[in-house]
Amino acid sequence: MLLQRRFHPLLLPVVLLSLLSIPATYQPAQAVSPGATTAVTPAQTIAAAGSSIELVNSLGGIVTVLDVEGSLAYVNEGHGLAILDISDPAQPSRRSYLQLPDSPAAADVAGTTAYIADTTAGLQIVDVSNPNSPVLLGGYPLPATTLD
């Protein structure tokens, strides 16, 4: 039996950002006189590579749900949804948290409503009109694991 592995679409941005955060190590050949040594700092290496990406801050843990609307990021946190204020990227802060029946696997925010694929609990619908106090409006159970 041939096993198929499905690549989760939300993993692609994480993988790409991970690859982009690896410092460039390639240095063009430079004329150096015999016996001379040169030192290159990581900042010089990144600047030479033309990278404009800089890590300014982070919050710990694994993020599998991410949707950004304006200055708010909607991410999973354990068995719930955390709403983060990212208006100042150097100081992201948690605005609120809503406990859900299971672990969120994906989210999409449309206007003031978040639609969340909640693993074994199906679709969860959350009113996020007040990011400081999200409200679970309801859910729709599905017969299989809900990942997207």
Mean pLDDT along residues 121-148: 93
pLDDT at 100 over 50: yes
List Cβ neighbours of 59 (8 Å cut-off, separation of 6 or more): 84, 92, 94
List Cβ neighbours of 74 (8 Å cut-off, separation of 6 or more): 65, 66, 67, 68, 81, 82, 83, 84, 107, 109, 114, 128
**Model confidence over 18-71: pLDDT tens digits?**
555 555 444 444 554 555 555 555 555 555 555 677 766 666 667 777 799 999
Looking at residue 47, what is its pLDDT?
Answer: 55
Looking at residue 27, what is its pLDDT?
Answer: 45
pTM: 0.60
pLDDT at 91 over 80: yes
Which of 57-71, 78-92, 111-125 is least confident? 57-71
